[in-house]
Chains A and B, each alone.
Chain A
Amino acid sequence: MTTRTCCAVGGRAGPATGFGAVALLALRVFLGGVLLFAAAVKLRDPQQFAFAINAYQLIPPEAKHLVSIGAFVVPWLELLVGLMLVLGLWCRSAALAASCLMGLFVYAVWSVIARDLNVTCGCFGKLKGPFGCEGPIGACKLAENATLLAASLTLVCFGSGRIAVDALLRRNA
């Protein structure tokens, strides 16, 4: 028996088959690819990402060292989680970490909009994200991050599917 709808943490959401497996694979590759791309852009030029974090004004000026650390920890987390999602390794845990990250991004973007700050995202460097948002942060960026959050929560619920390293490990267990 395979349960497909369980979203309870630590539940037994079974691996989807057929169309479900392909859909989960596509979702994993999409979300993982976005995270890998964002990580590569930020790690290539951490100074620019640090400027972006600073502009959000969420970290007090006296704790600027946290901005410097965040400018490296966030992209490394995106890189690790992105790789794990694409491979389907520890998929639900990686998706949970991605959900926390996306939740943080949604909060940061919402907070910028609420405070009416003129901030450029810094999410993908000079390039546009999957929604093609341009210019200062606004509703488009909020929708983009909320969609990515929904995608990662979906993977937390349904797992990696059959086309994944996790499925291989389960078969060999």
Chain B
Amino acid sequence: MPPSAEAAAESIDGCAARGFRCPLGSLFGRALIVVAIAGLIGVADSARRPIQLTLNPNVSVPVGAGQASPRAAAAPAADPHGDDSPPGVLGPYVDLLQAKAVYDSLEADFIDAREPAQFGPGHIPGAYNLTQADFTGRTTPEALEFLDRSRPVVIYCDGGDCHASENVAILLQQAGFSSIHIMTVGFPAWVEAGYEVESRPEDDATGGGR
């Protein structure tokens, strides 16, 4: 085979050797075809398996509805998520004082959504360690065996731009928990306020309860 014919045959599509002009056979054209096919399959798949990225506040049962609320003892919340729950009722997002009041009243379980390496050295006493990675795969997270789905839960992580507590809240909502609350300021604010902190060896980092 002459060099020029061999080069043409080894070209990306061989179109030149056959004397055709076929843009979809070019390097970029074929790459675009691959991306387009993946895009179509991906969009179809996303319609079949919906993703939840925000906590659904309408599903969550508020703490304090129809009873003496811990919020009565707490200052009004400066809620960045626009919590419009009526006075005396805790919405899905709670501030530090509200969380402390719920903690003292023993009305809720506390969940630490940070990594075990952060949980071990210091966490809210009695809190369970439950990260979003614990929900990966088909097995149920160990901590869920100890938690009552009908009891309120307060979830926290590092505060600031930490997404872990919101993600765990969504996963708990999907797992059937009915009263979910996020302490938006996170664990650093709890420590800064001088509230009680507990530490636990890393090999016993999951369990909690009071």
Contact = CB atoms under 8 A, between A and B. Distances in A.
B135 interface: yes
Interface of A, secondary structure class, is helix
A46 B10 contact: no
Contacts of A2: 6, 10
Interface string B30-60: 1101110111011101100111111000000
Interface of B, secondary structure class, is helix
Given A10-B27, A93-B27, A77 B46 contact: no
A46 B174 CA distance: 14
B20 interface: no
Contacts, number: 127
A114 interface: no
A67 interface: yes
A50 B34 CA distance: 22
A14 B26 contact: no
Given A73-B43, A173-B9, A67 B53 contact: yes
Interface residues on B, range: 35 or more
A51 B42 contact: no
Interface residues on A, range: 35 or more
Contacts of B17: 173
B133 interface: yes
B80 interface: no
A45 B3 CA distance: 51
A94 B11 CA distance: 15
Interface of B: 3, 6-12, 14, 17, 26-31, 33-35, 37-39, 41-43, 45-46, 49-54, 132-133, 135-137, 158, 161-163, 167, 170-171
